[in-house]
Amino acid sequence: MIDDSKPIFQQIAERIESDVLDGVLREEGQVPSTNEIAAFYRINPATAAKGVNLLVDEGLLYKRRGIGMFVASGARAAVLAKRRQQFYRHYVQPLQLEAAKLGIDKEELITLIQRSAADYEGTPAP
């Protein structure tokens, strides 16, 4: 579950974000404790806490003293906006740059994307 592609605390934060996006963790719902996260992933509790605190710093989670950690109102929309921006930077921009190198203009690129979407949906491509 945990890989060497990026720091473990960052992967923990991303998994919690994914749980918020997927509705596993709901806004105003309680998040597992850092000890529970650490036990589940078999990592140091300090590493789990660092991942959780990253989301606290971003305003996606908040602490209720003596009770635990909770998903903030608006967290799902914030994660969605963040992930869409990452998608643009990591996929759309490189795609467009590679297309330009290959002499694929905007219209052809749009056609290719539409063809891919049709293939994905199981409908005939244009």
Q: What is the pLDDT of residue 1?
A: 67
Residues 113, 77: Cα–Cα separation, whole Å = 26
Query: Nearest Cα to 37, choosing from 57, 23, 22, 51?
Result: 51
pLDDT in tens, 107-124: 999 999 999 988 888 655
Average pLDDT, the chain: 93
Q: What is the pLDDT of residue 78?
A: 97
Question: Whole-model pTM?
Answer: 0.82
Residue 114's contacts (CB-CB under 8 Å, 6 or more residues apart) are 125, 126
Residues 7, 28: Cα–Cα separation, whole Å = 27
Q: 70: part of which helix (H) or strand (E)?
A: strand 68-71
pLDDT in tens, 4-51: 889 999 999 999 999 999 999 999 999 999 999 999 999 999 999 999
Contact 70, 29 (CB under 8 A): yes
pLDDT in tens, 77-107: 999 999 999 999 999 999 999 999 999 999 9
